[in-house]
Chains A and B, each alone.
Chain A
Amino acid sequence: MMNSTEEEYRGCEIMEKDVHVTFLELMYYLLPSPYESQEINHLTLAYFVISGLDILDSLHKVAKDAVVSWVLSFQAHPGAKTDLNDGQFYGFHGSKTSQFPPDENGVLIHNNSHLASTYCAISILKIVGYELSNLDSETIVTSMRNLQQPDGSFIPIHTGGETDLRFVYCAAAICFMLDNWSGMDKEKTKDYILRCQSYDGGFGLVPGAESHGGATYCAMASLRLMGFIEDNILSSCASSSLIDAPLLLDWILQRQGTDGGFQGRPNKSSDTCYAFWIGAVLRILGGFKFVDNKALRGFLLSCQYKYGGFSKFPGEYPDLYHSYYGFTAFSLLEESGLKSLFSELGITENAALAL
């Protein structure tokens, strides 16, 4: 990444909400061509834009009906005679390059439904207020069971792929939003998550892997969505036997650096997105009060771009991913004018609880 000039950063002492809204609006109308390399995650990119506008209390900028029909156009529908135990997953395609029309009998020959896209699709629908009971959720969750592996993890797509906590989280979030847990064996899922907790208290993406802020978020948010841990577990000792909460707290509190930002792993640089991944875990644990809010704010402002958005590191050009997690982080910091966040889903409370 190139460094932008100091000039473009000078004087950022407040969170420039209006500038960020304009930035997202531009993205809403057209994503610049460098994003084509992420085309396969088109629904995820859309999620960042639309949910970002919601966090910035500007959802009125979005044409909700158009969003709904566009998102629904990615859904994979099984043919009339399809057996839902055929090993496939009938969720949402990630993008148009992964989606192909069904044959003349309505049979979907090329089904590329993906767990992450399905999670983003349902989140967007929830954000714009679509009535999720209109969705054939039974098909989504029943076929989702085909993705769960004997060890409790999930493959993201029926043709295979890595299994790790990201897709466990997507599966848990889908079940939670559709209010239907028949999509997974919860006990097995829980066992897999617990096997990802490392010796230092954090969670790795797979058993044996190094503790990582994003993986730790996926683990804790999933356990919370699944109802295995209570909110605020630090103040109640009831569930402390499930995970090693004191060790986790120890690990997570050490992630705030001297520059005020959060790092994803020990001895790595602070990075905007971990302000959310780590901050949200602290919120779930009931430990956000231990954060040096002022210092975190200062770090985030050093990553705020003059023309809107946030970068990964101070003084760089912004990208959509880090911009989104910059907004969510400011919401965790209770920035005025921003909507409050439902940490476990990473969307606004209003959207998550259908207020």
Chain B
Amino acid sequence: MESGSSEGEEVQQRVPLRERVEWSDVTPVPQNDGPNPVVPIQYTEEFSEVMDYFRAVYLTDERSPRALALTAEAVQFNSGNYTVWHFRRLLLESLKVDLNDELEFVERMAAGNSKNYQMWCDALLCSFFHTLHHRRWVAEKLGPEARNNELEFTKKILSVDAKHYHAWSHRQWALQTLGGWEDEPNYCTELLKEDIFNNSAWNQRYFVITRSPF
């Protein structure tokens, strides 16, 4: 198995948090594995360090830009960590961050995640849906103006993997919540012209015909 190789380069250039001036006032909180951990994981030093600092800011509920930056690092190591994602949403709200920037962040995450997604199989255990759930939260806050963004975002993923289950489900959500049904029949036709056996596109066609308000 392999994972996170797309982040490999970043990891190598990474300066450890304990060597960064802006973190010098924070004492990391080590993980408490208990007396007899079973099926232990061989953590890398980077992983442990990021999570130790995350614990520190999470426990003191530090709503700061550096905490926000730290959550970005933490989800890159552990993209399924719903605790980190949840804290990130609290930070985005407290710090009143421009959510359009957040859409870009999710896009970069999605690109880096694709390997992981492949490994953990089509749907059941993959952590990619946490990334999309986060995106959904952002898009809901932005409202109808996010519509084109979401349709373009899923289109981008589908241009790489036309049967990406979670991308399709995100797209169906966007259509139902934000609208944009008008062009969907054409999009399905386009995909079916590329691959007549694309069952996901046939399903989408059925979805549009039976659920579109038009």
Contacts and interface: CB of A to CB of B under 8 A. Distances in A.
A40 B119 CA distance: 16
A215 B41 contact: no
Interface string B30-56: 011110111111111001000100110
Interface in A230-270: 264-268
B12 to A, nearest CB: 15
A30 B37 CA distance: 10
B81 interface: yes
A114 interface: yes
A267 B197 contact: yes
A37 B2 contact: no
Interface residues of A, number: 71
A39 B78 contact: yes
A188 B1 CA distance: 40
Interface residues of B, number: 59
Interface string B148-165: 000000000000000101
Interface in A10-25: none
Nearest to A67: B38
Contacts of B86: 159-160
B121 A273 contact: yes
A66 B163 contact: no
A112 B169 contact: no
A205 B165 CA distance: 9
Contacts of B206: 199
Contacts of A264: 122-123
A45 interface: yes
Interface stretch (B94-102, B124-132, B180-188): B124-132
B2 to A, nearest CB: 6
Contact of B83 (A37, A49, A112, A266): A112
A38 B165 CA distance: 20
Interface stretch (A141-149, A179-187, A291-299, A315-323): A315-323
Interface of A: 1-2, 27-42, 44-46, 49-50, 63, 66-67, 69-71, 73, 96-98, 100-101, 110, 112, 114, 156-157, 159-162, 166, 198-199, 204-206, 208-212, 214-215, 264-268, 271, 273, 312, 317-322
Closest 4 CB pairs of A and B: A210-B203, A70-B38, A319-B1, A46-B39
